[in-house]
């Protein structure tokens, strides 16, 4: 309280010259309504979770902002709290609505419509590039955004400016909920594959034709090297990738691994697949899957969005009446 009397300097403030790049990155994890926000001297970290089996993390590095200020020592009300960060919970859906409050004409992504130039997962993309997420014709959004957080418990203040019009919004913040991170055993990685994100997106779209409930991922040092298979009540489908440098930029697999996940959860990452340039696909020996997307933003900067998935257990597969082994024919 005395601290606020002595200075009007907020705990955190930042200015971005492009609202649309913030919106596009955060939209990738918009599969639940609330997000945990952590502010550090290096940037903002937004975390969402679905039933402890799927997590999404979007990182807005300070390089995305023209100015970025975080006063860590200002968070001194609680001696037990880590002064290097501040955390709170916020409505992610409300934040996204605020960022587009001055108008948006968002083009449909490739999940909702198939472009005639697309030849599918077997032929990949004929247009020679991933979806351009940050063009003015794609996202007609406010060109300047100012974020500030005065002190612990204060609202998150968002000021949008475009063509002389200024809109100020304040979003309520809440006490953060404890959230266990889905653990990825980095010292026991069974597979690491890096490829163009659009090709993963195309494969997931191809597999959706069977109205699948499950997605099985097979990585093997022998052909077929990387296989995605879907299984559902309408049948099954398979997409295979060979170990070709033009397809798989990195392929590190020592032994064959088979893991199965809920298709609807993997589909939850489709927005990131559509706008990212590359994806790193990692799975540990327990089957925990990490999809880390690299999203190119304005000014030659990049942002990262990371998803973690817990695999289905064998008994969960049995309940579905579908086996773990994908059809390879």
Per-residue pLDDT of the chain (329 residues; tens, 9 = 90+): 444 444 578 999 999 998 989 999 999 999 999 999 999 999 999 999 998 999 999 999 999 999 999 987 544 444 445 567 899 999 999 999 999 886 544 444 433 333 433 444 433 333 344 444 444 444 455 478 999 999 999 999 999 988 888 999 999 999 998 778 999 999 999 999 999 999 999 999 999 999 999 999 999 999 999 999 998 888 999 999 999 888 899 999 999 999 999 999 999 999 999 999 999 999 999 999 999 999 998 878 899 999 999 999 876 655 554 444 443 33
Closest alpha carbon to 155 in 49, 64, 37, 46: 37
Is 45 within 8 Å of 14 (Cβ atoms)?
Answer: no
**SS3 at position 315:** helix
Closest Cα partner for 45 from 56, 59, 31, 33? Answer: 59
Give the pLDDT confidence score for residue 118 in this predicted structure: 41
The pair of three-digit structure tokens given for residue 204, joined into one six-digit string: 């997931």
0.75 exceeded by pTM: yes
The pLDDT, as a whole number, for residue 115 is 43
In the DSSP assignment, the letter for residue 125 is B
Residue 244: the pLDDT is 87
List the structure tokens of 89: 């919970």
In this structure, are strands 12-16 and 67-70 parallel, antiparallel, or unpaired? antiparallel
Angstrom distance (rounded) from CA 23 to CA 42: 19
pLDDT of residue 43: 96
pLDDT value of residue 80 = 43
Counting every residue, how long is the chain?
329
Q: Which of 321, 118, 281, 116 is nearest to 195 (CA)?
A: 281
């Amino acid at each position: 309280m005395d601290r606020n009397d002595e200075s009007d300097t907020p705990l955190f403030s930042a200015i971005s010259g492009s609202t649309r790049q913030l919106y596009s990155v955060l939209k990738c994890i918009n599969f639940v309504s609330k997000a945990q926000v952590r502010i550090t001297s290096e940037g903002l970290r937004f975390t969402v979770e679905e039933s402890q089996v799927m997590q999404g993390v979007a990182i807005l590095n300070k390089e995305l902002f023209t100015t970025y200020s975080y006063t860590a020592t200002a968070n001194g009300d609680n001696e037990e709290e880590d002064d290097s960060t501040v955390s709170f919970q916020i409505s992610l859906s409300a934040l996204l609505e605020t960022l587009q409050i001055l108008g948006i004409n968002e083009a449909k992504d490739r999940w909702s419509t198939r472009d005639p130039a697309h030849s599918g997962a077997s032929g990949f993309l004929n247009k020679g590039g991933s979806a351009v997420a940050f063009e003015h014709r794609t996202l007609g959004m406010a060109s300047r955004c100012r974020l500030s957080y005065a002190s612990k418990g204060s609202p998150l203040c968002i000021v949008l400016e475009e063509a002389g019009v200024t809109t100020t919004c304040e979003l309520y913040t809440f006490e953060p909920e404890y959230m266990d991170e889905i653990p990825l055993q980095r010292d026991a990685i069974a597979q690491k594959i890096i490829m163009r994100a659009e090709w993963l997106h195309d494969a997931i779209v191809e597999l959706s034709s069977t109205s699948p409930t499950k997605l099985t991922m097979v990585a093997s040092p022998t052909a077929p090297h990387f296989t995605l298979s879907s299984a559902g009540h309408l049948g099954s489908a398979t997409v295979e990738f060979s170990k070709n440098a033009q397809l798989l930029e990195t392929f590190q697999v020592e032994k064959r691994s088979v893991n199965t996940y809920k298709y609807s959860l993997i589909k939850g990452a489709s927005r990131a697949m559509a706008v990212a340039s590359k994806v790193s696909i990692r799975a540990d020996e327990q089957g925990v899957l990490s999809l880390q997307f690299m999203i190119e933003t304005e000014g030659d900067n990049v942002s990262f969005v990371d998803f973690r998935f817990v695999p289905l257990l064998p008994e969960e597969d049995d309940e579905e009446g579908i086996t773990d082994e994908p059809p390879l024919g």
